[in-house]
Amino acid sequence: MKQCYLIIDIARCEDCNNCSLACKDEHVGNQWKGYTAAQPLHGHRWINVARHERGQFPIIDVAYRPTPCMQCQDAPCEANSRGAITRRSDGVLLIDPGKARGRRDLVESCPYHAIFWNEESQLPQKCTLCAHLLDNGWAAPRCVQACPTGALQFQRLEPAEMSALASARKLRPLHPELATNPRVFYANLHRFDRCFIAATVAARRNGRDECVAGARVVLLRDGSPCAETTTDPFGDFKFDALEPNTAGYEIHVYSGDQPAVTSPVPQLEKSISLGTLWIAAVETVS
Binding site for ligand SF4 (CB under 6 A): 13-19, 49, 64, 66, 69-72, 75-77, 93, 110, 112, 114-115, 126, 146-147, 149, 151-152, 180
Residue with smaller CB distance to ligand SF4, 15 or 250: 15
B/e letters for 126-158, b = 16+ CB within 10 Å, e = fewer, are bbbbbbbbbeeeeebbbbbbbbeeebbbbbbee
Q: 66 forms bridges with which residues in the sheet?
A: 49
Residue with smaller CB distance to ligand SF4, 77 or 279: 77
Minimal distance, residue 118 CB to ligand SF4, in Å: 14
Residue with smaller CB distance to ligand SF4, 36 or 71: 71
Minimal distance, residue 34 CB to ligand SF4, in Å: 18
Residue with smaller CB distance to ligand SF4, 6 or 212: 6
DSSP state of 172: B
Cβ neighbours of 247 (radius 10 Å): 11
Sign for the CA dihedral angle at 237, 241, 247, 248 comes to: negative
**Is 67 buried (19+), middle (13-18) or exposed (0-12) by CB count in 10 A?**
buried
Minimal distance, residue 160 CB to ligand SF4, in Å: 21
Minimal distance, residue 74 CB to ligand SF4, in Å: 9
